[in-house]
Amino acid sequence: MRLGVAIVLCLASSVTHAAEVYPAKPIRLIVPVAPGGGADITARAVAQKLAAIWGQQIIVDNRAGAGGTVGMEIGAHAAPDGHTILEGSMGPVSVDISLYSKLSYDPVRDFVPIARVVKDSGVRAE
């Protein structure tokens, strides 16, 4: 299974306490897929780098199910303190909105992209 064109880290919502030193506590990185695949491996590599930069623990929380919507819902309803980030991909961010008649999150309204961590190289296996 190929990764989508891009994987985006998204804040569940904006940081409300700008005066605090960020991050003030461990960061929860929600990955809406099962452990062991490409998105999970990417998330763990990113978590390791962020932990070194921020000097704070990054907890990778795999929440697979329903085409990624389980993890996306958890991220959308997380506390708006900036200490929960989410690895989004093409499916749950842009495709699921047309597949499911009722989602408990809006990928445009409920998430703020903060970084693209994977880009399609354009190389195709033949």
The per-residue DSSP string of 19-41 comes to TS-S-SSPEEEEESS-TTSHHHH
Structure confidence at residue 90 as a pLDDT band (50, 70, 90): confident
pLDDT of residue 74: 96
In the predicted model, what is the mean pLDDT of residues 2-31?
63
Q: pLDDT tens across 39-59, in order?
A: 999 999 999 999 999 999 999
DSSP element (H, E) containing 116:
strand 112-119
- 77 in Cβ contact with 45 (< 8 Å): no
Question: Which residue segments constitute the domains of the chain, with CATH numbers given?
Answer: 6-119 (3.40.190.150)
pLDDT of residue 19: 56
Q: Is the pLDDT of residue 77 over 60?
A: yes
